[in-house]
Amino acid sequence: MTHPMSSEAIEKLAAEIGDQIYIDVAKWHLYLRDAKIHTSLSEQLYPLLESDPIDASAVEQILAHTMVTLGEQRQVPLSDLVPTRIQGRLVDLLEDYQRNL
């Protein structure tokens, strides 16, 4: 199945990710939309929609390789900030998005 990578499709996916996926910092939930991470993350995740089912390990790798700057000098992998349960929700979100294409 081929899904053309359009800016509209990426923006729609980014909106869903931004509204539903968050990082957990000291028990505070910072949604990716508010952290301004959702669009670049959706650009990286969108090609995974080609595989059926969504490859959860590929999602984990993308999160592990997406660095988030904390303060001015420290970078942390996004996978360290997104709770495991929410990472699973991200995979579910991608599967739902894929079905609706």
Evaluate if residue 30 carries a pLDDT over 70. yes
Evaluate if residue 4 carries a pLDDT over 60. no
What are 86-93's contacts with CB under 8 Å, separation 24+?
86/21, 86/22, 86/24, 87/59, 87/60, 87/63, 88/56, 89/20, 89/21, 90/17, 90/20, 90/21, 90/45, 90/59, 90/63, 91/54, 91/56, 91/59, 93/16, 93/17, 93/20, 93/21
Query: What global pTM score does this model have?
Result: 0.90
For 37-95, the pLDDT digits (tens) are 999 999 999 999 988 899 999 999 999 999 999 989 999 999 999 999 999 999 999 99
What is the predicted pLDDT for the residue at 1?
46
Amino acid at site 65: H
What is the predicted pLDDT for the residue at 2?
47
